[in-house]
């Protein structure tokens, strides 16, 4: 098993082990209507959402714990008595998929091919089979169109970005898109290089998101975003990558590049979980190391 895959699985197991802690820390879940048939569910560890159709309901992402999923289902029941039939996963990270165990079995679960592959690898590890009955049942490579009448839904995979399998859930009629962990405001985006994510791919994906006819965006974490927010995120990301690229061409080492950005070499906290900084990811990617 390759080191990148081992790292990905290890992170998945850490998420699972820390589920109870996050469950205690998460705030109460509340649903808010953001379009005629579309809701965001705030609170918990990550944003989720759902679409109420004429005959059915589809959820977007699944919370991190079974308890969080149960609270999400309660919010759906407050909004409608129609049955939940689908769960759409924006990507494979535990804070977006591990709550699937709190959903009824037999639902149609949709994701990119890559996200399903990442989930399938993670459940091969000992004591990690709880999600096996909830592996995506319907996948796609680049685009999937379907209706939850009256809403038309487009699932779009533009390539590796935050992970290898991120998707955008786009509602053309409502000019609204759920963008998962592709956009962070007020901090650097997190790129899971061990899951095939790349900074260049994220830049490409943000450009593709801006080409959509949308004016409202739901991130995986934080408040609703505007097109201006996406543009600012893209601009900052591009400028940072350009600077790293310039330093790499000058032959600078990683410590020198981090110093140029004022990033300290702080040791990881004992027993803590940490990820490489965006600058480090860019350096490793652009220097092919």
Burial of 139 from C-beta contacts in 10 A (0-12 / 13-18 / 19+):
buried
pLDDT at position 279: 95
Report, in angstroms and rounded to the nearest whole number, the Rg of the chain calculated over CA atoms: 19
Tell me how many domains the chain contains: 1
Terminal alpha carbon distance of the chain: 19
Does residue 289 or residue 156 have the better pLDDT? 156
Please tell me whether the peptide bond between 2 and the residue prior to it is cis, using omega within 30 degrees of 0. Answer: no
pLDDT digits 0-9 by tens, 197-214: 999 999 999 999 999 999
Residue 257 has pLDDT above 50, yes or no: yes
The residue range of the domain holding 34 is 3-286
When pLDDT is cut at 50, 70 and 90, the band that residue 289 belongs to is low
User: Helix, strand, or coil here: 154?
Assistant: strand
Span 116-127, average pLDDT: 90
Q: Band of the pLDDT at 127, cuts 50, 70, 90?
A: confident
With a cut of 70, say whether residue 287 has pLDDT above it. yes
Q: Which of 66, 61, 68 is nearest to 39 (CA)?
A: 61
74, pLDDT greater than 80: yes
The predicted pLDDT at position 94 comes to 92
Write the pLDDT tens digit of every residue in 172-186: 999 999 999 999 998
Instruction: Give the CATH number for residue 190.
Output: 3.60.15.10
Q: State yes or no: pLDDT of 56 exceeds 70.
A: yes
pTM of the shown model: 0.89
């Amino acid at each position: 098993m390759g080191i990148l895959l081992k790292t990905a699985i290890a992170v998945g197991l850490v998420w699972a082990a820390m589920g109870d802690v996050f469950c205690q820390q998460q705030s109460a879940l509340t649903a808010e209507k953001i379009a005629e048939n579309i809701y965001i569910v705030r609170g918990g560890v990550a944003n989720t959402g759902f679409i109420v159709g004429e005959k059915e309901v589809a959820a977007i992402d699944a919370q991190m714990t079974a308890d969080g999923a149960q609270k999400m289902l309660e919010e759906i029941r407050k909004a409608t008595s129609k049955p939940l039939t689908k769960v759409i996963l924006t990507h494979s990270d535990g804070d977006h998929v591990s709550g699937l165990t709190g959903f009824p079995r037999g639902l149609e679960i949709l994701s990119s091919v890559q996200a399903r592959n990442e989930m399938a690898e993670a459940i091969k590890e000992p004591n990690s089979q709880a999600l096996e009955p909830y592996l995506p049942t319907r996948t796609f490579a680049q685009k999937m169109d379907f209706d939850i009448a009256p809403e038309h839904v487009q699932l779009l995979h533009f390539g590796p970005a935050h992970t290898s399998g991120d998707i955008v859930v786009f509602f053309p009629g409502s000019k609204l898109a759920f963008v998962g962990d592709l956009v962070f405001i007020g901090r650097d985006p997190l790129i899971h290089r061990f899951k095939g994510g790349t900074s260049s791919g994220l830049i490409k994906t943000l450009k593709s998101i801006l080409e959509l006819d949308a004016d409202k965006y739901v991130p995986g974490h934080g408040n609703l975003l505007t097109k201006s927010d996406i543009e600012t995120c893209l601009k900052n990301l591009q400028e940072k990558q350009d600077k790293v690229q310039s330093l790499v061409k000058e032959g600078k080492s990683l410590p020198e590049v981090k110093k140029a950005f004022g990033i300290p070499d702080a040791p990881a906290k004992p027993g803590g979980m940490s990820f490489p900084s965006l600058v480090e990811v860019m350096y490793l990617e652009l220097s092919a190391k």
